[in-house]
Chains A and B, each alone.
Chain A
Amino acid sequence: MKESYTKEMGFVGDYIVSIRKIEKSFNDLRVLNELSLDIEPGIFGLIGPNGAGKTTLIRLILGLIRPSSGTIEVLGLDIEKDSLRIRERLGVLHERPTYPKGSAPLRFLQRIHDIYGDGKSPDALLELVGLSEAADRRIGNLSAGMTQRLGIAQALVGNPELVILDEPTSNLDVVGRYEIIQLIMQLHDEFGISFIVASHVLSELERICDNVAFIRNGTIVMQGGTLELIDRFSKGRFRITTDNPQQLAPLLEGVEGVGRIRITGISTLTVVVSSNSLVDLERRIKDTAEHAGIQVYSILGASTLEDTYMEVMTGVS
């Protein structure tokens, strides 16, 4: 990693972030516990429940707080020694960011541009994120989606190699979320920018992330390629959509080939099956339900990131 940053070429190493045995405590509360993580270029998802340590990890990467022990390298540079140089090559959108409400997006981006001293022009950035028409409006009057797009624009001012997004779609409606996700993919495809996205919304991360890590109680419990993890943890797992999952669940316990059962919604339950013949199993489940007067609408493979996350996290707990 020591040779992975050159002035001429920028970052040329294997990992954009390399974390080694990081510990962080606030008073007596240990938030990160010997956490190690290597992040490859691409779009990386950091997933975990509230209080798992995601934001603390981001703050450490940015040098906003200091680790109790351990080392972090970002783009091949040590955060303790080269924090400023790292931030020159990095863009960040924090959760619930605050921008000058009385200022206009164009004016605000111009200020950030002056701080970097170089980089993308504010006009071009506003066009890129679809805010050209709101260039001179007060930031305080922008909608949540527009403010979030402005947040992404300010993160891109310095032509970053890596952008960190902490809950980028929080407080956004469905359309707003879709637009932000599309924007992230577009930026990655067009400019080759790597992203670290910390989020609760797993369906979005599944769509955009090359790699993900699950964090819980300050430790990485699972890390890998998104598709690889889904494939690994969703084999033999099916989601049954029914009109009465509460009643069906105990009945399925007696069905041959059905293992663990979990009610996952008002009309869904997830089962782990060990049977080789899925057609037979599907018939047995439907017969059991029919005898009890329960309607089964569908039996489909449970192969989403959310299923994987639930499987991993319940396994850990």
Chain B
Amino acid sequence: MYPRLKKLKAIMELEIDTHYSFPLLETIVSLLVIMSFYYATKAGFFMYGEIPIEYPIPGQSLLDLLPKWIEMGASVLAGRVYDNMMVILAFFVPVLTALSFGRDMDAGAFKTLLSYPISRRQLFMSKELLVLATTCGISSVSVLVAIRTFEPGPVHMDIVLMGTAVLWIPAMIVSSITALIAIHSRSLSASLFGGIAVSVGRVLSPFLFKDMPDMLIAIMNPGYAINTYLSSIQSGEILYSIPVGMFIAFAIGVLLLIVSMVSFDRMEV
């Protein structure tokens, strides 16, 4: 097992050398997201609820404060910041995937990579993992930091899980679709524009189609569904649709990942 992991690590390092010449930019963006989430939410509390900026208050958990938070409208502000993070992810995930798969396809780098003793599955998984780790991994840290900001005590794992799943599941879907487009089109531009179109379409669809069923919203854009529940409607139907929709989205993501991997396995280089 160890040599395999070592090989996977070596492929990822080679991949970083080839495609991730701008991790600094990604890091800066993530730091901005963390800072904006932290300060904007704090400012929201201060402005709307006259809660001192020294918040968090020791001994009170985030869940205890949620009704008050919703009542004073600070959640709307925090939600918007969270939306911004979604938009950043919606841009970075397809771009990195398109660069990783589409550019290698365009430049003919796959024939060099696959001439080394690397299985296609190893190469596919290392590329996918790297894209998701760079985008969602860093953003997940942002979420954890933000949650810790409000809740210095024991962390509610359900909130953490929900916060990270909202990032990882849509990213997995978008990344798989972008990779599929790259594999079949063999073009960087097709995968880049196709991936961004899918990603932005996914984020914007609940805004564009107001009559969209709750379940579909939870599948397409779980972050929006959660925001809708917290900020305004709070209906039981929406609450029920969120975990179910996210589970369905996860299943779709896994399926797409498998389809992409099989396509990559059969691809002629």
Q: Digit string of B85-117 for contact with A (CB within 8 Å is 1, else 0)?
A: 000000000000000000000011111101111
Q: How far is the CB of B163 from chain A (nearest CB, A)?
A: 34
Q: Which residues of A contact B262 (CB under 8 A)?
A: none
Most chain A beta-carbon neighbours within 10 Å: one of B3, B9, B17, B114? B17
Binds B, one of A1-9, A69-77, A87-95, A190-198: A87-95
Which of B11, B108, B114, B269 meets A98, CB within 8 Å? Answer: B108
A100 near B112 (CB under 8 angstroms)? Answer: no
**With A and B bound together, what is the CA distance between A107 and B114 in angstroms?**
19
Q: Which residues of B contact A108 (CB under 8 A)?
A: 14, 17
Q: Which residues of chain A (47-85) have a CB below 8 Å from chain B?
A: 59, 62-66, 84-85
Binds B, one of A114-122, A174-182, A278-286: A114-122
Minimal Cβ-Cβ distance residue in B for A89:
B117
Q: How far is the CB of B116 from chain A (nearest CB, A)?
A: 5
B269 near A111 (CB under 8 angstroms)? Answer: no
Most chain A beta-carbon neighbours within 10 Å: one of B7, B14, B107? B14
Q: Does B118 contact A (CB under 8 A)?
A: yes
B269 near A64 (CB under 8 angstroms)? Answer: yes
**With A and B bound together, what is the CA distance between A100 and B112 in angstroms?**
11
B115 near A64 (CB under 8 angstroms)? Answer: yes
Q: Which residues of chain A (175-222) have a CB below 8 Å from chain B?
A: none
**With A and B bound together, what is the CA distance between A102 and B19 in angstroms?**
9
Q: Does A297 contact B (CB under 8 A)?
A: no
Q: Which residues of A contact B13 (CB under 8 A)?
A: 111, 114
Minimal Cβ-Cβ distance residue in B for A99:
B112
**With A and B bound together, what is the CA distance between A98 and B115 in angstroms?**
13
Which of B3, B14, B112 meets A94, CB within 8 Å? Answer: B112
**With A and B bound together, what is the CA distance between A25 and B7 in angstroms?**
34
A98 near B268 (CB under 8 angstroms)? Answer: no
A88 near B117 (CB under 8 angstroms)? Answer: yes
Q: Which residues of chain B (194-216) have a CB below 8 Å from chain A?
A: none
Q: Digit string of B214-235 for contact with A (CB within 8 Å is 1, else 0)?
A: 0000000000000000000000
Q: Contacts A100-B18, A107-B17, A111-B17 known; A65 to B269 CB distance under 8 Å?
A: yes
Minimal Cβ-Cβ distance residue in B for A65:
B268
Q: Which residues of chain B (240-269) have a CB below 8 Å from chain A?
A: 268-269
**With A and B bound together, what is the CA distance between A99 and B19 in angstroms?**
11
Q: Does A250 contact B (CB under 8 A)?
A: no
Which of A84, A90, A98, A158 meets B112, CB within 8 Å? Answer: A98
Minimal Cβ-Cβ distance residue in A for B9:
A114
Q: Which residues of chain A (101-151) have a CB below 8 Å from chain B?
A: 102-103, 107-108, 111-112, 114-117
B10 near A64 (CB under 8 angstroms)? Answer: no
Q: Contacts A102-B21, A111-B14, A111-B17 known; A62 to B3 CB distance under 8 Å?
A: no
Q: Contacts A87-B117, A97-B112, A100-B14 known; A114 to B268 CB distance under 8 Å?
A: no
Q: Which residues of A contact B18 (CB under 8 A)?
A: 100, 103
Q: Digit string of B149-186 for contact with A (CB within 8 Å is 1, else 0)?
A: 00000000000000000000000000000000000000
- Which residues in B have some Cβ–Cβ distance to A below 8 Å? 3, 6-7, 9-11, 13-14, 17-18, 21, 107-112, 114-119, 268-269
User: Can you list 22 pairs linking A and B with CB atoms under 8 Å apart?
Assistant: A59-B111, A62-B115, A63-B114, A64-B110, A64-B111, A64-B114, A64-B269, A84-B119, A94-B108, A97-B112, A98-B107, A100-B17, A103-B18, A111-B13, A112-B10, A112-B14, A114-B7, A115-B11, A115-B117, A116-B117, A117-B3, A158-B116
The 9 nearest A-B residue pairs measured at CB: A114-B10, A92-B115, A100-B17, A64-B269, A100-B18, A103-B17, A65-B268, A111-B14, A88-B117
Besides A62-B111, A88-B117, A115-B11, 5 other CB < 8 A contacts?
Answer: A64-B110, A87-B118, A92-B115, A114-B13, A117-B6
